[in-house]
Structure 1
Amino acid sequence: MSSARPLAASTLVLAAALAAFCGPPTAGADAYEPALQRFAGTYRYVGGDAEIRALDQAIDEVVSQMNFFIRGIARRRLRAPNLPSKQVGVFVEKGQIRIDRPGQPEVSAPADGKPITWRHPTDGDVFRVSHGIDDEGALYQRFEGERSVSLNRFVLSKSDKRVTIHTVITADRLPAPLRFKMTYERREVTNPAASIGVTR
């Protein structure tokens, strides 16, 4: 939710706002194994310019509530890390969910929602990160930093061919949450194991 660093705000407001949000209770990874396998795979961005314009509008709505003299800086620092990646990979590996975006550090955490401490390899910012399936059946990625939080919810289409990533970012210096979404389409692959992104 996001980047690059994982979908999150940046140094002005959130030092890398890929942060986590207290979310709904979740069951263990084994209970959600079938649901996890539905998400696993590689997806390419298909939201086009429309979703980027929607992101810009969402940023403008938040930034317009800030001091005039810092709006330009805030807008740039919120926009760059939250532009869509060309593709997103979701992999289920030995009880872990790994989320991978080209040009960004990959993030792996237990599939049962247990939080881990994760340090951004470039800037050293530290987050509590958790991955799992929420009560509505969405895969979530949550990051909690010292001054910012971010929640990315991966929602599959009925056909499982598309995933929409809904992101909510909050931070001490943001006057309101930043909310936006990006849509990705599953890439077809010839290797069955790769298509479900599962390793044992």
Structure 2
Amino acid sequence: MNRLIGAGVCAGIMLSMTLSTGANASSNTLAGKWRLQDASSTQATLDEAVENVAQEMNFFIRALARPVLKKQTQICQQWSLGWQAEQFQWQCDDAIADVIPTSANGEVIKKDDEGIEISGTYQSMSDGVVVVLTSERGKRTNTWKQISENELQFTVKLESEKLPTPLTWSLTYKKP
């Protein structure tokens, strides 16, 4: 699951981040750069999410699980979001942009560096976008939801057979 959830889910895909607006209503205001708000409390938010999952685990597993779970809670100082040629692309800080076809509905969109197939689903809503990435290791649901003209809520939900409950957290971003 580490490879699925890591920052480079689609690292093999080289793509420029030319942002453009798409056909749906959410893309008109969702496209662009978004900066993390309340950075001072971000680590505490992520630590709490990890602890909520770890406390449900067997006592002996907790010590091993906490560092693995913490590794999965990546903090993006800035998101760049956009649509291009019927694809949605998202970029965390200076990482390589990830991309998914806007028509993706559970088909394999790539293989990770270990050859594990990753399927994806893209869903556009009037106020946001949901991208679900699934492999044999588990499922990651990324949701970018616009809560006001210049405010975005990014929510992640990680699910796996190895987790007693999903690992979930939300962070708030604003347009610079």
Q: Pick the TM interval, shorter chain.
A: 0.7 to 0.9
Change (3 A) 1:35 1:112: farther
Please state if 1:42 is matched with 2:30. no
Q: CA deviation at 1:96?
A: 0.9
- For residues 54 and 88 of structure 2, what CA distance do their matches in structure 1 show? 33
CA contact under 8 A between 1:148 and 1:171: conserved in structure 2? yes
Partners of 2:171 and 2:89 lie apart in 1 by: 19
- Secondary structure of 1:157's counterpart equals strand
Larger relative CO (CA 8 A, sep 6+): 1 or 2? 1
Which one of the candidate residues 114, 119, 139 is aligned to 2:129? Answer: 139
TM-score when normalising by structure 2 = 0.79
Q: Compared with structure 1, are the counterparts of its residues 56 and 38 closer, same or farther at alpha carbon in structure 2 (3 Å cutoff)? A: same
Flag the 1:114–1:16 CA change in 2: closer, same or farther, 3 A: closer
- Aligned-partner Cα distance in 2 for 1:114–1:169: 19
Map of 1:156 onto structure 2: 146
Structure 1 contact 164–184 (Cα < 8 Å) conserved: yes
Which residue does 1:179 correspond to in 2? 168
1:103 Cα deviation from its structure 2 partner: 5.0
Q: For the residues of structure 2 that align with 1:47 and 1:79, how far apart are their CA atoms? A: 19
Q: Which runs of 5+ in 2 are unaligned?
A: 10-21
Instruction: Determine if contact 1:98/1:106 at 8 Å carries over to the other structure.
Output: yes
The residue type paired with residue 118 of structure 1 is K
Distance of 1:51 and 1:124 partners within structure 2: 33
Counterpart amino acid of 1:176? Answer: T
Quick one: distance in 1 between partners of 2:104 and 2:119?
Answer: 11
| Residue aligning to 2:46 | 55
- CA drift at 1:118: 2.0
Q: Aligned Cα RMSD in Å?
A: 2.5
Q: Per residue, is there more strand in 1 or in 2? A: 2
1:138-181 residue CA offsets vs partner (Å, 9 max, x unmatched): 2111101113111111111222x121111111101000111110
Match of 1:17 in 2: 5
Gaps of 5+ in 1: 1-9, 20-30, 188-200
How many residues align structurally? 162
Q: State the secondary structure of the residue aligned to 2:163.
A: coil
Worse overlay, 83-92 or 171-180:
83-92
2:111 counterpart letter in structure 1 = R
Which residue pairs with 1:119 in the alignment?
Answer: 111
In structure 2, what is the Cα distance between the partners aligned to 1:102 and 1:119? 23
- C-alpha contact 2:130 2:143 (8 A) present in aligned 1: yes
The share of aligned pairs that are identical, in percent, is: 18
Aligned-residue offset at 1:123? 4.9
Distance 1:104 1:124, change over 3 A: farther
